[in-house]
Amino acid sequence: MHLKASIRLALALAVIMGGMSTQAHDTSAPGATAASDDAYLWLEDIHGQRSMDWVKAQNAITQKQFAGTPEFARTRDGILEVLDSDAKIPYVKRLGDHLYNFWQDKAHPRGLWRRTTLDEYRKAQPNWEVLLDIDALNQAEGKKWVFQGADCLKPDYRKCLVSLSPGGGDAIEVREFDLPSKSFVKGGFLLPVAKTQASWIDENHLYVGTDFGLGSMTKSSYPRIAKIWTRGTPLSAAKTVYEGKDTDLAVNASHDRTPGYERDFVSVAHDFYHSDTYQLKDGKLIHLDAPADAAAVDPHREWLLVQLRDAWTVGGTTYPSGALIATKYDDFMAGKRQFTTLFTPDQHTALSDYMWTRHHLIINVMDDVKSRLDVLTPQADGSWKHEAMPGAPQFSTVDVVGTDPDHSDEYWLSVTGFLTPPSLERGVLGEQQAQALKQSPAFFDASKYEVSQHFVTSKDGTQVPYFELAPKGLKLDGNNRTLLYGYGGFEVSLQPHYSASVGRAWLGRGGVYVVANIRGGGEYGPRWHQAALQANRLRAYEDFAAVAQDLVKRGVTSAAHLGAEGGSNGGLLMGNMLTLYPQLFGAIACEVPLLDMKRYTHLSAGASWMAEYGDPDDPKQWAFIKTFSPYQNLKAGTAYPPVLFFTTSSDDRVGPVQARKMAAKMEGMGYKNVWFYENTEGGHGAGADNKQAAYMHALVYDFLWDRLQ
């Protein structure tokens, strides 16, 4: 249980939820006046008739151009065949004696929540016990629910909190579910749709953060107040545990049910990278005196792990940025400050993740963006034994996707690479090496291609890595259609992974695919991320441009044949490639993007990202933010490459309005090669089901292939 990491991951990847509103903007906000000269402000009315009429008209134009051809149908169907395949791996999570899985296919587009046993799972065709059929639920209720996970109460796992999103956004309805009867509990815990955090204390009590009414959410639209809710009482009677400030990012309370180490905690995220953690004991909050900017403060059994973003001098020792350090929890709470260093990064390595088993700690290290696993074991004398786990294939990613830390040293590994279909392996430390239980089939012929890693010098002299997937014997004549993908933010690392969609829809046509590991990500730890924060944001865009230029210099492609793709923060990257480096690209796909950086803090969950980008309402910060705000930096008479913006109406994280406004502004300035598509469902993802996801991906690939001739 990473206390700071858990709330930050919820924000970054699930990104927390708040009340759903038909208005995306706050006209009383400081930025509203500055937006008064924005001719496209009306598009911020997400579900307004005028806005939706515009969306429908734009969708029709884009669909007519790119989605009505036999080639599009082949691309879409090829991707959908992969997504709906019965041969793909059913990834599982262990809860007690069962392995749980959520499964979507052609017959079950919204999915089945189901479980099986380990013995059954070993079989080629396991017998699955269906717990909840989301399609049947939707038919019975006349809804379009999207399953967003379940939190089940250990140790017996009879009661669960099931999260359902209306359309795939971050706002969820939470319902209590009874596993033995496979039904929702009548009169049980029920929370209406909101950006909610709810977790078990015991069978009759929950920790809840939700929209309790006016003022109960932060400016970032996440829970500001954590409460204890008792079964059989109205939500209004829930007792407040902690009340944060409206300027905080989010507040979360949790109960650790580890046998013998039961504890309660409150985590207060001030922004994405600064949090405070408290133990709640006998009604009092006891602060864990760890650095507020630590990436993780993790009590586990008798241990406390701290993952550092910045160097920390404590107990007479300085621990470096990116390090993972450990001490006894009770010693730390008693005031002792002696730590053992478990991992120290160097110029080539960074800590990707770590996970406990019952007696060991597995750490996942990136070495020049490739995986390495080590096993650490605490010894009786206070030292830790280090052992390397078996190596992974070249240019691969190995993730520990599951353990059973309360009971055993079982671990589950996902192993994949750009050309290596993923496998799911299970092992038991000290007893059994990992063995593959499930193997994904090859959805394209990888023997035709090769992977290489390259390094390019960015504008400020920094060496930036990138991966290239290309046909063997590639002619370096500058004529290859090449797709360059990037993200560059929020400590997210782009590691090697198998994409059947890329293989079928891009490589299979003869294209080259490139992944840029630019600054802003986490590929080399905190230093790599911090190098492109706020006033240094342009470093990320310089890195991406340097990769684009290197591909041309090496003869892989030319500007006319080079496309770029990115989503969310990567959509902001694409917006800046469009406005700052239009000469480098032949076409750009900009997906669920941030683009209006003057207004972003007043749109959807934008206020939560100020630690990443800065506060545009502060004139001093706006001075640097405006340098990477694509919406403001559009200029008439510029030779912009063709661009496709896609987004979703149900995205309550970034929201659809920024893509809408950017497309409308470009069209208003007379640009013709601007395309827009907005799906109604799917939240911040590509779609609410496989069919929608295949459609969206096919639209992007066919647009890029068509424009890069």
Active-site amino acid positions: 568, 684
Structure tokens at 493: 């690392």
Q: Are 225 and 243 in contact (CB under 8 A)?
A: yes
Angle at 641 between CA 621 and CA 523, to 5 degrees: 55
Q: Which residue has the tokens 């994904």?
A: 440
Taken in order 18, 21, 27, 28, is the CA torsion positive or negative? negative
- Nearest of 642, 614, 641 to residue 628 by alpha carbon: 614
Q: Are 647 and 656 in contact (CB under 8 A)?
A: yes
**Cα–Cα dist 558/471, whole Å:** 17
**Cα–Cα dist 490/487, whole Å:** 9
**Cα–Cα dist 26/18, whole Å:** 14
**Which of helix, strand or coil describes residue 704?**
helix
Helix, strand, coil shares of the chain as percentages rounded to 5?
A: 25, 35, 40
- 593 exposed, middle or buried (CB, 10 Å; 0-12, 13-18, 19+)? buried
Q: Is the peptide bond before 320 cis (omega within 30 degrees of 0)?
A: no
- The 3 state secondary structure assigned to 205-236 is EEEEECCCCCCCECCCCCECEEEEEECCCCHH
Any idea how long the chain is? 709
**Which of helix, strand or coil describes residue 127?**
coil
Across 14-31, b (16+ Cβ under 10 Å) vs e yields bbbbbbbeeebbbeebeb
What is the torsion angle, in degrees rounded to the nearest 10, for the CA atoms of residue 651, residue 652, residue 658 and residue 661? 80
**Which of helix, strand or coil describes residue 106?**
coil
**Cα–Cα dist 529/531, whole Å:** 5
Q: Is the peptide bond before 441 cis (omega within 30 degrees of 0)?
A: no
**Which of helix, strand or coil describes residue 298?**
strand
Across 423-457, b (16+ Cβ under 10 Å) vs e yields bbbbbebeeeebeebbebeebbebeebbbebeebe
Strand partners, 205: 202, 230
Structure tokens at 134: 């989301």
- Nearest of 104, 21, 167 to residue 680 by alpha carbon: 167
Q: Which amino acid is at 171?
A: A
- Nearest of 556, 568, 563, 618 to residue 588 by alpha carbon: 563
Give the Cβ contact number of residue 140 at 10 Å: 9
**Cα–Cα dist 557/564, whole Å:** 13
- The 3 state secondary structure assigned to 439-502 is ECCCCCCHHHEEEEEEEEECCCCCEEEEEEEEECCCCCCCCCCEEEECCCCCCCCCCCCCCHHH
Angle at 462 between CA 460 and CA 467, to 5 degrees: 130
